[in-house]
Amino acid sequence: MWKNAKSRSDKKTIILTFAEQFGVSKETIYDRFREIENGVSRTIVAGYSGVAQVRKTKSQLEEEKAHMMTIALIKRGGKVGRQGYGVSTDLAITAAENEGLIPRGKYTRSTADRLLNQLGISTKLVDTPSVATELISPYPNHCWFVDATVKNHYFLNIKKERIDFRSDIKYDSSHGMDILEKHSLKRIWDYFIVDNYSKCYLMMTFAPDPKTAGAKHGGENTADWIAFLTYAMLAKSDSRIPIQGIPKLIFCDEGSGLNSNHMKSFLGRLGIEVRTHLPGRASAKGAVEARVGAYKRSFGVTINKNKIYSLDELRNHDSRYLIFDNNKKGGFQKWVDGTKENPITKASQKNIQDALVTETEKVITAYGTIRIDNQQFFVSPDLPRGTKVVVFTNSEGNRCVQSDDGRIFQVRPYGKIQRDIETYEILDDLGHEIRQTELQILRKQIQKVSREFKEKIRSESYLRETNITYFPPQGEEAETHVAMAPSKIMKIDEAITYVFNETGFTADEIGEEDLETMREVFGRLIDRFGEVPTGSLYEIVNIYLGTGTND
């Protein structure tokens, strides 16, 4: 048909028709017709170039995957978290080629993008969040979700002492901040608590002052959280308002005011554990996010700007709505029913005061005790002498102490642990209180190993060279911590510092006796070998960490 065409135009029409039907270029059709004229028999396949495809070997696929991983890392490196733009594929390929990480000229932009998508590691796919999961609680007050958000368009007018409605102000813009300062307006914050079991919730409104130096506007802060949580935990004058008692867990944002040291101390003394959801995974805290969004979309827009003049009026207005909303959705009834089978831990005003107000700082004695009103009270054998602790009373009425590292110990009603001078037996069945701790066991082990080192050292090694030819300048060497010991340690202090860094123990925790023993052993090893062998360092570190083997 092609050869019998009457004109070039007809031939072109035939070629274009075949190209369209088979989904190939017109050049491919021309080549195929010429092959037919030359007697070459081959079937035209749509999209087939005529070149046989070679299956890649396993090693080639692994190499290709490694190259794509390199390109993906370079592309993703241009982003901060999930924000910003990644490096373009062209630039990533160029950078990888110039660094010698991939062969030059092997990949084009389109090839790299196709392979990245096939492997699921393109910049877009890498940043795709994983599926959210619902967090389930088995009973009321098991877990509270908390969050704070700015109330839209409502501000506290400081000069006029009233609530102002300003639809022209966007609180999250720099222009909005300037307007607030110009008109003496304060942002109003809504604090929310959602009980994860029943999904009933509480809310309270605040207009905070700036808390940090240099800040012009108040935001979410520890003081307001303490006030709100105290209100939530104590009994309410209106029994229709849900939630009461001390929760087991509190879930919050990473940057929440609940993460301050003061807040952690306050909640810790009440026996509450604070947990944060992962950055970028707010959907895992969807219960409180849903309540915040629902309030803003529904009741939050019904506030009558001509009838609400103060924060107290605004709080009463919101309280009436949350009573209505919790009953309508059934959350309040579910919370009440759940407390029948799982009674709550009630909080009193004294519990709150005891958690907030601390007694005078005390110091652990050599007997593991503290002195209160000239009376000794045993704390723990794990706290070394001289440790400073703060005394408080927890929600169960028990006196406790908290060390600087955050550990909490219950104070015992008795004082010093006593032994019979003849039998050396511990009196009053208190032997469990002074059990041999792991640290004490490790100290004895290092004492044993140090004696073995001593037996291996020759007597002439005790004669230290006293000729001093060089006085090094004073100063401290910069250090970068790695688990592997330095190739050479030729100073006693460097060896001891390595032991400190790898074990995490301080000089006080190791003790003067062990330190002197280590100094003596390290000194002899340096005299004998010119350095402290790394094997000796590893052996000592393993003893303190309870790892490795001891033959």
Helix/strand/coil for 80: strand
Number of folded domains that form the chain:
4
pLDDT tens, 146-175? 888 888 777 888 777 777 777 767 655 556
6 domain residue, yes or no: no
Q: From 445, 539, 439, select the one nearest 485 (Cα to Cα).
A: 539
| Residue 429 sits in the same domain as residue 443 | no
| Residue 301 sits in the same domain as residue 178 | yes
Contacts of 112-117 with CB under 8 Å at 24 or more apart are: 112/68, 112/71, 113/89, 115/64, 115/68, 116/68, 116/71, 116/72, 116/75, 116/89
Helix/strand/coil for 416: coil
136 domain residue, yes or no: no
34 domain residue, yes or no: no
The whole-angstrom separation of Cα 435 and Cα 277 is: 38
At residue 468, the pLDDT reads 46
| Residue 176 sits in the same domain as residue 295 | yes
Residue at which a domain ends, from 319, 351, 383: 351
Predicted confidence band at 278 (pLDDT cuts at 50, 70, 90)? low
Query: How much is the mean pLDDT over the chain?
Result: 74
At residue 547, the pLDDT reads 57
Domain holding 405, by residue range, is 358-434
Predicted confidence band at 255 (pLDDT cuts at 50, 70, 90)? low
Lowest model confidence (mean pLDDT) among 185-199, 334-348, 469-483: 469-483
45 domain residue, yes or no: no
At residue 230, the pLDDT reads 92
pLDDT tens, 422-452? 554 555 544 444 555 554 555 556 556 555 5
Q: From 406, 389, 385, select the one nearest 511 (Cα to Cα).
A: 385
**Helix or strand holding residue 263 (H, E):** helix 261-269
Rounded average pLDDT over 301-322: 77
| Residue 386 sits in the same domain as residue 526 | no
276 domain residue, yes or no: yes
| Residue 163 sits in the same domain as residue 311 | yes
458 domain residue, yes or no: yes
Q: From 141, 128, 63, 130, select the one nearest 102 (Cα to Cα).
A: 63
| Residue 87 sits in the same domain as residue 218 | no
| Residue 380 sits in the same domain as residue 425 | yes
| Residue 215 sits in the same domain as residue 339 | yes
Rounded average pLDDT over 376-405: 76
The whole-angstrom separation of Cα 471 and Cα 462 is: 23
At residue 431, the pLDDT reads 47
249 contacts 226 by C-beta, under 8 angstroms: no
- Measured torsion, CA atoms of residues 440, 445, 451, 453, in degrees rounded to the nearest 10: -130
| Residue 311 sits in the same domain as residue 298 | yes
Which is more confidently placed, 383 or 467?
383
